[in-house]
Amino acid sequence: MEKAIPLDKFIEHSLYDKKKGYYINKNPIGENGDFITSPQISVHFSEMIAIWLVGFWEKLGKPKNLNIIELGAGTGEMMYQINKSISSFKQFKKSCNFYILEISPELIKIQKKRNGLNKIKWIDNLNEIKKNPSIFLANEFFDSLPVKHFIKENNEWFEKYITKKKNKYFFKNKKRKLGEIEKILGEKITKNQNFIEVSPKSIKKISKISSIVKKNNGGILIIDYGYLEKKMSDTIRCVKNHKKVDFLNNIYETDITHLLNFNFYLRKFKKNLDKVKITTQGEFLIKMGIFERAEMISKNLSFSKKSDLYYRLQRLVDNKQMGKLFKVMFATNKKNKFSMGFK
């Protein structure tokens, strides 16, 4: 990789290269990995998602066939806990066709091991799902898709590239026409925007998912870290052993993610789906009854186990931890009068 390549191609190469890619050869998730996700922090997170799914299915008129598709399932923990939680909802469980969209061979192995007894189909393309009402779950999925950076300087636009000299990587800006950037974005750039962070892969996924939901009914629930401001900023973060590092010096060895600009996602989904709701992870989980669930569970627990349970919940809902930084977005057809977990 001697010639300069766009930032998103560099990230793609670092994370998903078939031989050396970060996500391809290892499991980076968990206390012993580089980062931890909500399903690992508390089983009650996945239980709330399961309750939400049952509620949405009922609101859809209890279809006999329902697709539930998890996008990038990590260790498979959320899918495992969802299946466990719905075991008493016999009619619902019978109607579900579970799918996991995953491209990492290493994570597929881990997911299959965890979900050995559950009936799940692993796919690498959304065209493989059946033409039924479909509910998509994306917990920390979109943040791992590669982004492009466009910078405005002296009324001209540039794209950020990466170049390599003497085994070291450097940033380099290349001039881009405004029209080319707007074509990638699928919209005009407003005057107050002088920096753009966008994932072309996310735009494609949003378009594909929206068309499936529009055609067959259903919706998508996105849980991810992000911000609501209209003005975009450089949010790339790179984590190794739960600490921030420079991704240029750690190719193939670190998780490279970004914060979602939920304002942009809102606009993209509203192009095809009429109803989009958004709240914080803390508000969503509290509205879903996570503390009531914990109270039921904790009655017979020892003090140390009870303390651990509430410590984990606080991590998920507290505004100074994941509660506010993580947002929950729900997009569906206008006719679906469903707002569980939202205002």
CATH number of the domain that residue 116 is part of: 3.40.50.12710
190 domain residue, yes or no: no
pLDDT digits (tens, 9 = 90+) for 105-148: 889 999 999 998 789 999 999 999 999 999 999 999 999 999 99
**Residue 62, token pair as written in the block:** 């209890």
pLDDT at 33: 57
Q: Residue 66: which of 212, 203, 240, 185 has the closest Cα?
A: 212
Read off the DSSP letter of residue 273: -
**CA–CA dist 313, 322 (Å, integer):** 10
By residue count, the chain amounts to 343
Mean pLDDT score of the chain = 90
159 domain residue, yes or no: no
Query: Under DSSP, is residue 146 helix (H, G, I), strand (E, B) or coil?
Result: coil
193 domain residue, yes or no: no
What values do phi and psi take at 216, rounded to 5?
-110, 0
Domain limits for position 223? 19-148+201-232+239-332
208 neighbors 273 (Cβ within 8 angstroms): no
223 domain residue, yes or no: yes
Lowest mean pLDDT among 136-140, 162-166, 177-181, 325-329: 162-166
Place of tokens 């140390």: 304
The Cα angle at residue 339 between residues 334 and 341, in degrees rounded to 5: 150
Query: Under DSSP, is residue 13 helix (H, G, I), strand (E, B) or coil?
Result: helix
Whether pLDDT at 246 is above 50: yes
**Residue 259, token pair as written in the block:** 């914060």
* Longest Cα separation, the chain: 65
Region for residue 119 given its phi and psi (left: phi exceeds 0; alpha: psi -120 to 50; beta: otherwise): beta
Q: Residue 169: which of 31, 9, 342 has the closest Cα?
A: 9
Whether pLDDT at 30 is above 70: no
Residue burial 325-338, b: 16+ Cβ < 10 Å; e: rest = bbbbbbbbbeebeb
Whether pLDDT at 40 is above 90: no
12 neighbors 146 (Cβ within 8 angstroms): yes
pLDDT at 228: 94
Read off the pLDDT of each residue in 313-321 and give the average, rounded to a whole number. 86
Which of the listed ranges 25-39, 124-138, 319-333 does the model predict with the highest average pLDDT?
Answer: 124-138
By 3-state DSSP, what share of the chain in percent is helix, strand and coil, each rounded to 5? 40, 25, 35
Q: How many domains does the chain have?
A: 1
**CA–CA dist 170, 148 (Å, integer):** 15
Whether pLDDT at 34 is above 60: no
Rounded to two decimals, the pTM is 0.91
286 CB-near residues (< 8 Å, 6+ apart)? 317
Lowest mean pLDDT among 22-36, 149-163, 230-244, 298-312: 22-36
317 domain residue, yes or no: yes
**CA–CA dist 187, 268 (Å, integer):** 9
The Cα angle at residue 329 between residues 325 and 335, in degrees rounded to 5: 160
120 domain residue, yes or no: yes
60 domain residue, yes or no: yes
For 269, what's the count of Cα atoms within 13 Å in the CB-facing half-sphere? 23
Read off the pLDDT of each residue in 67-78 and give the average, rounded to a whole number. 95
Neighbours of 229 (CB within 10 A): 10
Query: Under DSSP, is residue 161 helix (H, G, I), strand (E, B) or coil?
Result: strand
